[in-house]
């Protein structure tokens, strides 16, 4: 039984990002592996055997509350990260794992320091489709954030093709098996190639190989069509064209 922990789903699910955990569980089941999603709101609720961690995005009004709860999980999260358990963090969930969040008034909310970099104020809020080119293929989603991100230039998730991302031409950060991004959607539903990469890591830790099930193949065609609609609207080549991952 694979166990996927989703942290603080009541506070960190503004854009439906907690559903990324359900995407992982469902695709694992389609591939013939039992899986469950466990909501974690305190350290005592974090399962001893945790195969993946999902952290969604939340509102700025809940940042300090969410950070304080996550601090109680900090040591356990570091253990999981060190042991190679994949972590997917979205938006403010990612920012809370960073060195800290700088606000426009000059104050700073210290983060957990698990991933390099910090969130810094943007001149204008980024609200648009976000498309990036990554080693996993083209990734598409929606961004909605008031902060840029610095310190991740050496290890981004990908290069921005359209949108703002980190604000430096790159998007997200990858450190070991920790994957952080501004992409909403939820990102794994819209980009199953990334979900399958995480599942490959998860199952490899159990000495098993991952192969997408037949149902996943059908669903992936729908996701690809949706990504291509976004690409065409933004003037990018659809996937399957020679420039599809440029």
**For 143-182, what is each residue's pLDDT tens digit?**
999 999 999 888 999 999 999 999 999 999 999 999 999 9
Beta bridge partners of 178: 87, 175
> What pLDDT score was predicted for residue 201?
98
Confidence of residue 243 (pLDDT cuts 50, 70, 90): very low
Average the pLDDT over 131-137 and give the result. 96
Pairing of strands 2-7, 35-40: parallel
pTM flag (> 0.75): yes
Kindly report, residue by residue over 5-47, the tens digit of the pLDDT: 999 999 999 899 999 999 999 999 999 999 999 999 999 999 9
d(CA 81, CA 114): 9
3-state secondary structure of 197: helix
- The runs of H, that is alpha helices, within 163-213 are 187-190, 192-204
pLDDT (tens digit per residue) in 188-227: 999 999 999 999 999 999 999 999 999 999 999 999 999 9
Q: What share of the chain is helix, strand, coil (3-state, %, to 5)?
A: 35, 30, 35
Count CB neighbours of 130 within 10 A.
29
- Indicate the domain borders of the chain: 2-211
Say which CATH topology domain 2-211 has: Rossmann fold (3.40.50)
Burial of 30 (0-12, 13-18, 19+ CB in 10 A): middle
The confidence score (pLDDT) of residue 245 equals 42
Q: How confident is the model at residue 246 (pLDDT cuts 50, 70, 90)?
A: very low
Predicted confidence band of residue 244 (pLDDT cuts 50, 70, 90): very low
E-state strands within 103-177: 108-110, 118-134, 137-150, 158-162, 170-171, 173-175
């Amino acid at each position: 039984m694979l166990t996927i922990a989703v942290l603080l789903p009541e506070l960190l699910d503004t854009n439906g990002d907690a559903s990324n955990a359900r995407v992982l569980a469902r695709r694992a089941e389609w591939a013939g592996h039992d899986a469950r999603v466990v909501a974690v709101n305190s350290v005592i609720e974090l399962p001893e055997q945790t195969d993946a961690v999902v952290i969604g995005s939340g509102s700025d009004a809940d940042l300090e509350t969410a950070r304080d709860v996550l601090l109680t999980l900090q040591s356990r999260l570091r253990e999981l990260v060190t042991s190679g358990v994949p972590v997917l963090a979205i938006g403010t969930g990612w920012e809370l794992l960073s060195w800290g969040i700088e606000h426009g008034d000059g104050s700073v909310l210290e983060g957990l320091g698990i991933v390099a970099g910090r969130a810094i104020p943007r001149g204008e809020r980024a609200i648009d489709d976000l498309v990036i080119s990554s080693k996993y293929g083209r990734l598409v989603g929606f961004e909605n954030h008031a902060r840029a991100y610095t310190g991740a230039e050496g290890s981004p998730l990908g290069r921005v093709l359209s949108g703002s991302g980190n604000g430096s031409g790159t998007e997200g950060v990858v450190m070991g098996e920790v994957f952080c991004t501004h992409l909403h959607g939820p990102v794994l539903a819209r980009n199953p190639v990334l979900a399958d990469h995480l599942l490959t890591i998860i199952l490899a830790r159990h000495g098993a190989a991952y192969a997408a099930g037949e149902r996943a193949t059908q669903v992936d065609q729908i996701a690809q069509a949706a990504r291509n609609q976004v690409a065409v609207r933004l003037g990018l080549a659809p996937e399957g064209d020679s420039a599809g991952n440029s």
